[in-house]
């Protein structure tokens, strides 16, 4: 054989080894049916969120697509209804970059929907810029918006227990940190505005997801509401659409070769939402449809408790409770 053939064979073997052992992940094996159950999936007009919502609709759930764009959200609801044959799939507007929008969504949902059995905090951004309330975009959307949303819906989740809160984090949480002085001074977890600091902020927001889930589990112990955070796998989605053009061009060929498609990326979310017997693991972190260890900061209970207290203040949770 020529050197080229040997090289090609070696490259294919390496690709298959990496794909099946690192990127591909596990499959949700739960046979659970969801007739009579209601699920919210944030950021479900595209990517992993849409794939997750489709699978839940196929199992018979009433699925609320909580998305920022009305046009894209209603189009996604139409697609899912058509593909699943389930007509209990509805769009409800939610902009996680606006705490006021989060409050309106929760108010509308609680007024119009009698049940909430599963809340899936899926939406995420990797972007510079600021939310409508002045927070760094990744921190404000990925953590703070979901923090407020979950708290505003907790009483309904308790009433419908056993119920679950599933929050999509990422393996990159291991590179995150939480700077309370930065949150105090500039409403963000990093300093500066660039593609690099956007990545740092994203990693830190994903650490916040892990810490939030850990503290939420502590607060909900014995309530019948369990919660889980997860890494969905390395997925080819629109997450990086706000990154610089050259970074997108660099990532695109790698993503097409190695990364999971959205359906594959939805599997660990579905596992955490549906799998029986994982209730004692509330507060823990999953990847590849299996329990995984988080980074050292993600196991810091004192850090998780402090983040919760600061998030309550930043989100104005007491004001929402009074209104």
Pairing mode of beta strands 38-42, 118-121: parallel
* pLDDT value of residue 26: 86
Q: Which three-class secondary structure state does DSSP give residue 111?
A: helix
* pLDDT value of residue 195: 62
Of residues 3 and 13, more confidence is placed in 3
Task: Give the mean model confidence (pLDDT) for residues 198-225.
Answer: 96
Lowest mean pLDDT among 149-158, 247-256, 304-313: 247-256
* pLDDT value of residue 24: 52
* pLDDT value of residue 245: 59
What value, to the nearest 5°, has the Cα angle with vertex 240 and ends 90 and 78? 20
Kindly indicate the confidence band of residue 166, based on its pLDDT and cuts at 50, 70 and 90. Answer: very high
Q: At what angle do helices 267-274 and 47-58 cross, to 10 degrees?
A: 50
Of residues 321 and 139, more confidence is placed in 139
* pLDDT value of residue 233: 86
* pLDDT value of residue 16: 41
Kindly indicate the confidence band of residue 247, based on its pLDDT and cuts at 50, 70 and 90. Answer: low
Question: Does 41 score more than 70 pLDDT?
Answer: yes
Q: Which homologous superfamily is 33-317 in?
A: NAD(P)-binding Rossmann-like Domain (3.40.50.720)
* pLDDT value of residue 253: 56
Question: Does 11 score more than 50 pLDDT?
Answer: no
Evaluated on CA atoms 286, 287, 293, 294, the torsion sign reads negative
- Has 202 been annotated as catalytic? yes
* pLDDT value of residue 189: 84
Q: Which three-class secondary structure state does DSSP give residue 65?
A: strand
> What is the radius of gyration, based on Cα positions, of the chain?
19
Among residues 6, 15, 19, 202, the one annotated as catalytic is 202
Give the C-alpha separation, 51 to 61, whole Å: 14
CA distances from 283 to 152, 167, 271, 303 (A): 19, 10, 14, 14
* pLDDT value of residue 197: 83
Task: Give the mean model confidence (pLDDT) for residues 6-21.
Answer: 44
| DSSP E strands, the chain | 38-42, 62-67, 89-93, 118-121, 163-168, 225-231, 285-287, 290-292
Asked if 231 contacts 203 with a C-beta cutoff of 8 angstroms, the reply is no
Task: Give the mean model confidence (pLDDT) for residues 149-155.
Answer: 98
Question: Does 317 score more than 50 pLDDT?
Answer: yes
Task: Retrieve residue 294's tokens.
Answer: 């988080």
Percent of the chain with pLDDT over 90: 76
Give the C-alpha separation, 79 to 89, whole Å: 10
Asked if 70 contacts 105 with a C-beta cutoff of 8 angstroms, the reply is no
Cis peptide before 162 (omega within 30 of 0): yes
* pLDDT value of residue 39: 98
Task: Retrieve residue 34's tokens.
Answer: 């969801």
Lowest mean pLDDT among 50-54, 64-68, 149-153, 246-250: 246-250
Of residues 259 and 66, more confidence is placed in 66
Burial of 134 (0-12, 13-18, 19+ CB in 10 A): exposed
* pLDDT value of residue 89: 98
């Amino acid at each position: 054989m020529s050197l080229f053939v040997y090289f090609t064979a070696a490259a294919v073997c390496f690709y298959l080894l990496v794909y099946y052992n690192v990127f591909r992940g596990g499959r949700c094996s739960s046979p659970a049916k969801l007739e009579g159950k209601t699920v919210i999936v944030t950021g479900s007009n595209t990517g992993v969120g849409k794939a997750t919502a489709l699978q839940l609709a196929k199992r018979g759930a009433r699925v609320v697509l909580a998305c920022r764009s009305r046009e894209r959200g209603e189009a996604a609801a139409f697609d899912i209804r058509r593909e699943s044959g389930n007509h209990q799939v509805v769009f409800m507007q939610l902009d996680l970059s606006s705490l006021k929008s989060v409050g309106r969504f929760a108010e509308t949902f609680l007024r119009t929907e009698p049940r909430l059995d599963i809340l899936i905090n899926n939406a995420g951004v990797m972007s510079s810029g600021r939310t409508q309330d002045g927070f760094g975009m990744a921190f404000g959307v990925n953590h703070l918006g979901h923090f407020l949303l979950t708290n505003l819906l907790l009483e309904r989740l308790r009433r419908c227990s056993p119920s679950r809160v599933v929050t999509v984090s990422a393996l990159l949480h291991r590179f995150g940190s939480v700077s309370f002085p930065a949150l105090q001074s500039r409403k963000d977890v990093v300093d500066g505005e660039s593609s690099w600091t956007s990545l740092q902020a994203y990693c830190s927001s994903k650490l916040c997801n892990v810490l939030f889930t850990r503290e939420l589990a502590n607060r909900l112990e014995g309530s019948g509401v369990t919660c889980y955070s997860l890494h969905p796998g390395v997925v080819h989605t629109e997450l990086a659409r706000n990154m610089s053009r050259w970074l997108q061009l660099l990532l695109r060929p790698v993503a097409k070769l190695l990364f999971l498609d959205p359906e594959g990326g939805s599997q660990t979310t579905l596992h955490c939402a549906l799998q029986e017997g994982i209730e004692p693991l509330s507060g823990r972190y999953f990847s590849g449809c299996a329990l995984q260890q988080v980074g050292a900061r993600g196991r810091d209970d004192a850090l998780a408790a402090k983040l919760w207290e600061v998030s309550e203040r930043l989100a104005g949770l007491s004001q929402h409770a009074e209104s």
